[in-house]
Amino acid sequence: MKRYCAWDIETAPTAEALAEPYPEDKRLPPSNYSKPETISEWRRKDRESWETDRIKEFSFSPRTGRIVALSLNFKGEEYLDLSALDAKDEKQLIIDALTIMSDTGRPGARNDLLVGFNSRNFDWPFLMLRMCYHRIDHLAVCPDRQWWQAGHNRYSLINVDVRDIVTFNQPGQKGTLSDWAAWAGQAVKDTAGSQIYQWVQEGNVEAIATHCRGDAQRTGALFERVYPLYAGA
């Protein structure tokens, strides 16, 4: 089996994106609501729903979200957790991650492959766009131009998306990492990505790192399980 580094990121909305106040004048209760207490209760629930939806929406966009954790799983033998609970630490997290991840796919490199789950559609574009947001000099991080030609290309041979393998690249196929990990016999995780923002607010670095590391572990284990499909390709 090739040497791989399975990876995963966790994201949260930026403070700037969440600064917009609840648009009470644009979100109106049903016209048949007349009692003040009924309207007040509807307003409370609507505000909660609005806030929850914004947190989820903003977390998934590199324009309104940021990386709070990134975990690296080196073939199940070693793990490295990077965290940026404070927004000012995200730039260094990205530099550290790319420095390690760029040691891939070259003669004498630590890894042959970078392995993610839905990484071609989410993790890799998010990481690259946040790198650009921080104006990080990519050649200062990794001077090898050939690596960038292959590394920044999410469809290059060094970037493997396990989701593409298990779905055979068929559009419309469903199944989360947790779904496929369970299929492969992995333990069901007892945390969810929806808890990340709450942990950020609480300053719970360990909970975020544990969740992210678990996803990197499941990604690597799933890759090993379906490796014959990759090797056959």
Count the domains in the chain.
Answer: 1
pLDDT digits (tens, 9 = 90+) for 22-42: 999 999 999 999 999 999 999
> What's the CATH number where 218 sits?
3.30.420.10
Residue 27: predicted pLDDT: 92
Q: Are 117 and 215 in contact (CB under 8 A)?
A: yes
What is the pLDDT averaged over residues 190-195?
A: 89
Q: What is the pLDDT of residues 38-58, one digit of tens each?
A: 999 999 999 999 999 999 999
Section 198-214 average pLDDT: 96
Beta bridge partners of residue 215, listed in sequence order: none
Q: Which domain holds residue 227?
A: 4-232
Please give the pLDDT value at position 152: 57
Average pLDDT value for residue range 120-149 = 89
CA distance 125 to 78: 25
DSSP secondary structure code for residue 25 in this structure: T
This prediction's pTM: 0.91
Rounded to whole angstroms, what are the CA distances from 104 to 5, 54, 55, 112, 164?
9, 36, 34, 5, 20
DSSP 195-216: GHHHHHHHT-HHHHHHHHHHHH
Cα dihedral 103, 219, 163, 129 in deg (nearest 10): -50
Residue 142 has pLDDT above 90, yes or no: no
- Any idea which residue has 């505000």 for tokens? 47
Q: What is the pLDDT of residue 187?
A: 84
User: Cα 70 to the chain's mean position, in Å?
Assistant: 8
- Crossing angle for the helix pair 124-133 and 90-101, to the nearest 10 degrees: 130
Structure tokens at 214: 């678990």
Residues 106, 27: Cα–Cα separation, whole Å: 55
pLDDT digits (tens, 9 = 90+) for 76-133: 899 999 999 999 999 999 999 999 998 988 778 888 999 999 999 999 999 999 999 9
Q: Confidence class of residue 155 from pLDDT cuts 50, 70 and 90?
A: low
